[in-house]
Amino acid sequence: MKVVKFGGSSLANAEQFKKVGAIIRADKRRRYVIPSAPGKRFNGDIKVTDLLYRMADQALAQEDFSETFAQIKDRYNEIIEGLELHDFSLDDQFEEIEKRMKEDPDADFAASRGEHLNGRIMAAYLGYAFVDPFEMIFFDEDGMLDDRRTMREVEKRLSQEEYAVIPGFYGCSHDGKVKTFSRGGSDITGSIVAGACHADVYENWTDVSGFMVADPRIIKNPARIETITYRELRELSYMGASVLHEEAIFPVRRQGIPINIKNTNRPEDEGTWIVESTAQKSGYVITGIAGRKDFCAVLIYKDMMNSEIGFGRKVLQAFEDNEISFEHMPSGIDTMTIVVHEDEFIEKEQKVVSAIHRLAKPDSIEIESDLALIAVVGRGMKSMRGTAGRIFSALAHAHVNVRMIDQGSSELNIIIGVENRDFETALQAIYDIFVLTQL
Residues forming contacts to ligand ASP in the complex (CB under 6 A) are 8, 36-37, 47, 49, 114, 168-169, 183-187
Q: 119 or 184: whose CB is closer to ligand ASP?
A: 184
Contacts of 193 (CB under 8 A, 6+ apart): 3, 32, 34, 154, 158, 166, 199
**Closest distance to ligand ASP from the beta carbon of 171 (Å):** 13
Q: 36 or 337: whose CB is closer to ligand ASP?
A: 36
Q: Count CA atoms within 13 Å of residue 126 on its CB side.
A: 31
Q: 183 or 421: whose CB is closer to ligand ASP?
A: 183
Cβ atoms 160, 149 nearer than 8 A: no
Q: 12 or 394: whose CB is closer to ligand ASP?
A: 12
Q: 222 or 251: whose CB is closer to ligand ASP?
A: 251
**Closest distance to ligand ASP from the beta carbon of 11 (Å):** 9
Q: 181 or 311: whose CB is closer to ligand ASP?
A: 181
Query: Three-class SS string for the chain?
Result: CEEEEECHHHHCCHHHHHHHHHHHHCCCCEEEEEECCCCCCCCCCCCHHHHHHHHHHHHHCCCCCHHHHHHHHHHHHHHHHHCCCCCCCCHHHHHHHHHHHHHCCCHHHHHHHHHHHHHHHHHHHHCCEECCHHHCCEECCCCCECHHHHHHHHHHHHCCCCCEECCCCEEECCCCCEEECCCCCHHHHHHHHHHHCCCCEEEEEECCCCCECCCCCCCCCCCECCEEEHHHHHHHHHCCCCCCCHHHHHHHHCCCCCEEEEECCCCCCCCEEEECCCCCCCCCCCCEEEEEEEEEEEEEECCCHHHCCCHHHHHHHHHHHCCCCEEECCECCCEEEEEEEHHHHHHHHHHHHHHHHHHHCCCEEEEEEEEEEEEEECCCHHHCCCHHHHHHHHHHHCCCCEEEEEECCCCCEEEEEEEHHHHHHHHHHHHHHHHHCCC
Backbone angles phi, psi at 204, to 5 degrees: -115, 105
Cβ atoms 428, 398 nearer than 8 A: yes
Instruction: Name the residue type at position 308.
Output: E
Q: 261 or 336: whose CB is closer to ligand ASP?
A: 261
Q: 118 or 272: whose CB is closer to ligand ASP?
A: 118
Q: 167 or 222: whose CB is closer to ligand ASP?
A: 167
Q: 183 or 266: whose CB is closer to ligand ASP?
A: 183
Q: 37 or 274: whose CB is closer to ligand ASP?
A: 37
For ligand ASP, which residue has the nearest CB? 186
What is the CB neighbour count within 10 angstroms for residue 66?
12
**Closest distance to ligand ASP from the beta carbon of 187 (Å):** 6
**Closest distance to ligand ASP from the beta carbon of 212 (Å):** 20
**Closest distance to ligand ASP from the beta carbon of 240 (Å):** 18
**Closest distance to ligand ASP from the beta carbon of 47 (Å):** 5
